[in-house]
Amino acid sequence: MTNLRTIALIGALALLGAVSACKTSVAEDVPGDFTFHGQAIHPAAVSSLYRSANGQINLADFKTNLEASQWEDQPGWWITDFEEDPVSQKSPFFAYAAFAGPVNGGAEIYILSITFNAGETADIDNILLLQKNGSWLGLIRAWNEGSACNGGILAQRMDGENFLYSRELTPLDLLDLSLDVRLSLNAHEDLEATSESCYAAANYVYSLTQDRENLVSVRLYDEPKTDEKGLTDKLRYQSCFNRVFNAYLAEGKTALAPKEVDEFARRFRDECVTPATPGSIDR
CB distance 187 to 194 below 8 Å: no
Strand-pairing partners, residue 132, are 108, 137
Q: CA–CA distance from 20 to each of 198, 210, 216, 244 (Å)?
A: 58, 47, 56, 72
Q: In the structure, what pLDDT confidence band is assigned to residue 138 with cuts at 50, 70 and 90? A: very high
CB distance 96 to 114 below 8 Å: yes
Whether the per-residue pLDDT at 89 is higher than 90: the answer is no
d(CA 127, CA 114): 6
Confidence at residue 121, expressed as pLDDT on a 0 to 100 scale: 81
User: For residue range 159-211, what is the model confidence (pLDDT) as tens digits?
Assistant: 999 999 999 999 999 999 999 999 989 999 999 999 899 999 999 999 999 99
pTM equals: 0.84
d(CA 260, CA 174): 12
Q: In the structure, what pLDDT confidence band is assigned to residue 12 with cuts at 50, 70 and 90? A: very low
Query: For 206, phi and psi rounded to 5 degrees?
Result: -110, 125
